[in-house]
Amino acid sequence: MAHEWTVTGVEETTGDDGRTPYWVIVYEVPVEVAPDGQWRYYVPKEAVEYRAAEYGLTDVDEVLDVLVHEPLLIELQSAGVLPPLTPSLTDAAAARELVRQQIAACRERHGAVAAQRKHSNARAVDPLQAIRDACRIDPIRTAELRMEIDRHRMAQARGEGRK
């Protein structure tokens, strides 16, 4: 049975350390998921650029598609319906293909995660726009992150990451 999640808002906060900035993606969810019908997903702000590096993405909207589906993907992975995503153990193209397949499977099972459009002064307001406005994917920083991910992957392949 499909149960759709709808993004209703985005908030900003900091972690318990008072320094780490987070986006809080607020969802409207079925009561079977949360009795009050709301779910909050905390995403470190640096995750936007990091997901771009992990999956070889170049567009903020592509990254947002991954981020807004992550809570559902985690649920399906925990239930054994989908395998865990391990982008640090594969190249970016393979990781990108796998996450796209998993998001498609998530949509088949739950329907698309949609952003609720609120109307303000006869203009639609997308709750994810705050993230779009604040984030830019820096290709140099993303390449540096990807190099670190690849370095980790190669060390794992050589058995250097095992203890």
What is the pLDDT at residue 121? 63
pLDDT at residue 122 above 60? no
21 vs 162, which has greater pLDDT? 21
Q: Look at residue 146 in the predicted model and tell me its pLDDT.
A: 93
Beta bridge partners of 98: none
Instruction: State if pTM tops 0.75.
Output: yes
Q: Rounded to whole angstroms, how far apart are CA atoms 160 and 153? A: 10
Name the 3-class secondary structure at 87. helix
The pLDDT of residue 111? 72
The neighbour count for residue 104, using CB atoms within 10 Å, is 11
Q: Are 70 and 41 in contact (CB under 8 A)?
A: yes
pLDDT, position 4: 80
Separation of alpha carbons 42 and 9, rounded Å: 12
Domain spans of the chain, in order of start: 6-157
Report the distance separating Cα 114 and Cα 69, nearest Å.
Answer: 10
Q: What is the pLDDT of residue 124?
A: 63
pLDDT tens figures, 23-75 = 999 999 988 888 999 999 999 999 999 999 999 999 999 999 999 999 999 88
User: What's the pLDDT at 109?
Assistant: 83
pLDDT-derived band of residue 1, with 50, 70 and 90 as boundaries?
very low
Average pLDDT in the 120-135 region? 82
In the chain, alpha helices (H)? 47-55, 60-78, 92-110, 129-134, 139-157
pLDDT digits (tens, 9 = 90+) for 68-121: 999 999 888 998 989 998 888 888 999 999 999 999 998 888 777 878 776 666
